[in-house]
Amino acid sequence: MSEHVLAELRKQLDELNLQLLTLLNQRAKLVREIGEIKKKQGVNKFDPEREKDMLDRIVKHNEGPFDDHTVRYLFKQIFKASLDLQIEEQKKTLLVSRKKQAENTVVDLKGTLVGNGTPVIVAGPCSVESEEQVFAVARSLKEQGVRLMRGGAFKPRTSPYDFQGLGEEGLKILRRAADEYDLIVVSEIVNPGDMEMAEQYVDVIQIGARNMQNFELLKAAGSVRTPVLLKRGLSATMEEFLFAAEYIVSRGNTQVMLCERGIRTYEKWTRNTLDISAVPILKNESHLPVFVDITHSTGRRDILLPCAKAALAAGADGIMLEVHPNPAVALSDAKQQIDIPSFETFMKDLRASNLMGNQERVLERK
């Protein structure tokens, strides 16, 4: 007899479970509709006041046997799941996502296209130190058919006692050298208030690893129309990296390029660990061009070439590296920069690898 009762009760429980499931999904649909309306109104999805009111109302009607605390806990889980559902949907449609835009974003830097299948090299000193230094590098870039020149004028140094960069004067030097040799200037900006000043001198605003989550800086970069090279944070996940890019793109600056520059791990034989898997992941997840900084990711000159090849083989749109006329006396990153003859050898070897696509043909035509 009791066997029969048990079976009957279980049957009722199964039915209740299904009813609960139906109700939960009905609730989720309602929440989604509300989310859509809030999105149109530009209102924040999570409303703690409203959540508190709902919980209070539920508890007021609680007749047990669950105590109020348990009821609150259970409903909070339901609320959280609904909110996660909305956030998940929003994530799926990030502006930087491939799901939003299937075709690659191609950034046009005065005729040099980034992201159209032909790899692009960005090279130059870690810091701008003098006119002579920048011009020496610029000449070599020109000879090598490399159009993008990097150089830091505002240096976010780990120690406040280290060289902090020449500031606006450094940007002026870069501009003069770029104008002389028809190059594109890529330089880091660290202060949101400097964006408009920087636009007078630079063609690409770099946002450094240490500032990847400096949200005010990202917003400022999103408000100008100069292309941005956004470097991955020292320990940033792919998701955090793409959200950082989304900050810029959602403000209207769609010309964003991503740059994997190594992440912090326990390994000491490299300065950082080059996360080569970031390249295909970013290329799959996002339509933005992807660079790999082989200098900061490795911190060593002896493995630049294989790392550059690996990056290009993994689908990178470009490579960044540091070149200095006399690395031994460089005011920053003296250990990792390469000199001009080594840069020329590097370029020769990279071109010989057949990973450079049309770039090789461009050089042959010269």
Residue nearest to Mn ion (CB): 126
263 contributes a contact to ligand PEP by CB under 6 A: no
301 contributes a contact to ligand PEP by CB under 6 A: no
Cα–Cα distance list, 142 to 122, 133, 305, 323 (Å): 12, 15, 20, 13
Asked whether 137 and 340 are in contact (CB, 8 A), the reply is: yes
Residue 324: name its binding partner from ligand PEP, Mn ion, none (Cβ under 5 to 8 Å by kind): none
Choose the stretch contacting ligand PEP; rule: CB under 6 A; options: 66-74, 79-87, 102-110, 206-214.
Answer: 206-214
Residue 151: name its binding partner from Mn ion, ligand PEP, none (Cβ under 5 to 8 Å by kind): none
> Closest CB to Mn ion among 188 and 317?
188
> Closest CB to ligand PEP among 96 and 259?
259
Least Cβ distance, residue 170 to Mn ion (angstroms): 14
Residue with tokens 């990202």: 218
CB atoms within 10 A of CB 92: 10
> Closest CB to ligand PEP among 210 and 219?
210
Least Cβ distance, residue 229 to Mn ion (angstroms): 14
β-bridge pairing 184-188 and 256-260? unpaired
Task: Report DSSP state, residue 139.
Answer: H
Cα–Cα distance list, 365 to 42, 83, 141, 276 (Å): 53, 57, 16, 32
Choose the stretch contacting ligand PEP; rule: CB under 6 A; options: 78-86, 208-216, 247-255, 281-289.
Answer: 208-216
Chosen residue from 202, 209, 256, 282 binding ligand PEP by CB under 6 A: 209
149 contributes a contact to Mn ion by CB under 5 A: no
Choose the stretch contacting Mn ion; rule: CB under 5 A; options: 42-50, 254-262, 310-318, 329-337.
Answer: 329-337
Least Cβ distance, residue 330 to Mn ion (angstroms): 9
Interaction mask 122-141, ligand PEP, x per CB under 6 A? ----x---------------
Cα–Cα distance list, 292 to 83, 200, 361 (Å): 35, 26, 22
Quick one: 188 exposed, middle or buried, by C-beta within 10 A (0-12, 13-18, 19+)? Answer: buried
Asked whether 76 and 69 are in contact (CB, 8 A), the reply is: no
Interaction mask 108-127, Mn ion, x per CB under 5 A? ------------------x-
Q: Is the dihedral of CA 265, 270, 274, 275 positive or negative?
A: negative
CB atoms within 10 A of CB 63: 5
Asked whether 202 and 184 are in contact (CB, 8 A), the reply is: no
Choose the stretch contacting ligand PEP; rule: CB under 6 A; options: 51-59, 97-105, 140-148, 207-215.
Answer: 207-215
Choose the stretch contacting Mn ion; rule: CB under 5 A; options: 116-124, 169-177, 215-223, 326-334.
Answer: 326-334
Phi-psi region of 67 (alpha: psi -120 to 50; beta: other; left: phi over 0): beta
> Closest CB to ligand PEP among 177 and 209?
209
Asked whether 252 and 226 are in contact (CB, 8 A), the reply is: no
β-bridge pairing 112-114 and 107-109? antiparallel
Residue nearest to ligand PEP (CB): 208
Residue 227: name its binding partner from Mn ion, ligand PEP, none (Cβ under 5 to 8 Å by kind): none
Least Cβ distance, residue 50 to ligand PEP (angstroms): 41
Residue 273's contacts (CB-CB under 8 Å, 6 or more residues apart) are 262, 263, 264, 265, 267, 297
Least Cβ distance, residue 158 to ligand PEP (angstroms): 9
Q: According to CB under 6 A, which residues from 150 to 189 bind ligand PEP?
A: 152, 188
Question: Is the bond into 289 cis (omega within 30 degrees of 0)?
Answer: no
Q: Which residues bind Mn ion (CB under 5 A)?
A: 126, 333
Q: Which residues bind ligand PEP (CB under 6 A)?
A: 126, 152, 188, 208-210, 231, 261, 293, 296
